[in-house]
Structure 1
Amino acid sequence: MTQAFTRIDGGPLDLLIVADHASNHVPADIDLGIDPALLDDHIAIDIGVAEVSALLAQQLGCTAILGGVSRLVIDLNREDDAPGLLPVMSDGHAIPGNRGADLAERMIRFHHPYHHAVGALLADMASPFILSVHSFTPRLASDPAQKRPWDIGILYNADDRAARIAIPMLEVAGLMVGDQLPYSGRLLNATMNRHAEANGIPYLGIEMRQDLVSDAAGQKRFAEIIGPVALACRSRLA
């Protein structure tokens, strides 16, 4: 493990699980200036993602790479010049410690090593497929009227091949599926744009609803549903 990422070696299958926001870790030398309780909130971590990704890596016999720091330290799912890379506000909460932070230092320390590791793992695969795992909050504090009823969302930019395979399978499994919901992958797809779409690598981008994967039973349920879907996408596309 490095501070930039954690790697889980579940087996040799050419399928890479990528989880940008799996951690709420803040290194000891970084002070975000926030209530520590917020580190367990959706603004700091994609709740349930680390656990589901680990279950999937073992179930599928593949590798997973999990982001090693909180998205409040650096957002690994943002382009190098994106405004939200080093957040100073998140869902109504100020992140005062980031106002004077050295963006270049955090990029060198966390963002670059993480994306280098993702690229290196994919380069070693003969026929790679990526499963991108995120989770979303059912309720935004800054927009409480917004309804987010979906159990799972499927995100993509230009490449919707896996989405078209996965959505009907997830619906058959009993999930309420959002196609490009609760937000569009055409806007929030930086890691997959970089490693998948730019290189012609097929991928499935999923967003699980956090309250459904906040405990071990929910995490196990989603891993058991997602695993066969990811394999079906890979077998048809990779």
Structure 2
Amino acid sequence: MQNDTITLPHGYTAEIAFDEYPENPFTSWDCQPPIAVLNWERYRARLENYDGHALDLETLLDLIPAEKWQSREGKREIRDALPFELADLWAEMIETRSFRGAIENLVSDLSPSGWGEWVEYFDAMQNLAAVAGIPCHLMQSNGHSQDESALVFVAALPAWVAETGTEPEHQNAACDSAAGLWGAWAWGDVYGVARILSPDGEEVEGGDCWGFYGFNHEASGLLDHCRDVVRCHRREMAKERAEAHAAACRDIFTLPAFA
């Protein structure tokens, strides 16, 4: 574990290190939004959801308002959001005699294999979320090696919004933040404060703290932690100096008088 030293106010320093055993925030923490991740490792794909939140095309289809399925304009939006040829849709409609049934059958038969097909699938999820009016964020997250890539899609599904009470104006930001959080966890960009040293080189009690996600130490809260520790330590030192000064003064006043 290689440490890096950063300079703090008032002559303090902090030793920063990689957190080698970070928690998966999507299984260990509460209130993270639903996320779908397509991991692509050594030419193999693996689609994952976390913490019981199913997020895929079928989930999003169920969240499209009924009026969209009934109106001509709404049907066009749904059709344009999905990667189907019009001929395939017509053939399925002839068999099912239902626009919705045809769409649902085509979606359930989708089985992406290569990276390009998965990109198309994730693009379709983003498109359907827009049709359903659901805030979301889609990104490609890359690791530190050439063969480490993932597609990450986060959506503020209504059940999650109801559970967390997240206000509409904060939902897009929550999705964006969750996607970045996944990348930090997946690629090992998680840090901790190994120790904080005072100006005289002594280790400050309570300085070590782990689990800061992301290389931006300001945004992750790591620097806030360091500054709080420095502030508390300086307050303690000032208190100790004041008490020592008061004790010294008492000793002076109690010295015996000599004739």
What TM bracket, shorter-length normalisation? under 0.3
Q: Output the TM-score relative to the length of structure 1.
A: 0.27
Q: Which has the higher helix share?
A: 2
TM-score (norm. length: structure 2): 0.26
Greater C-alpha radius of gyration: 2
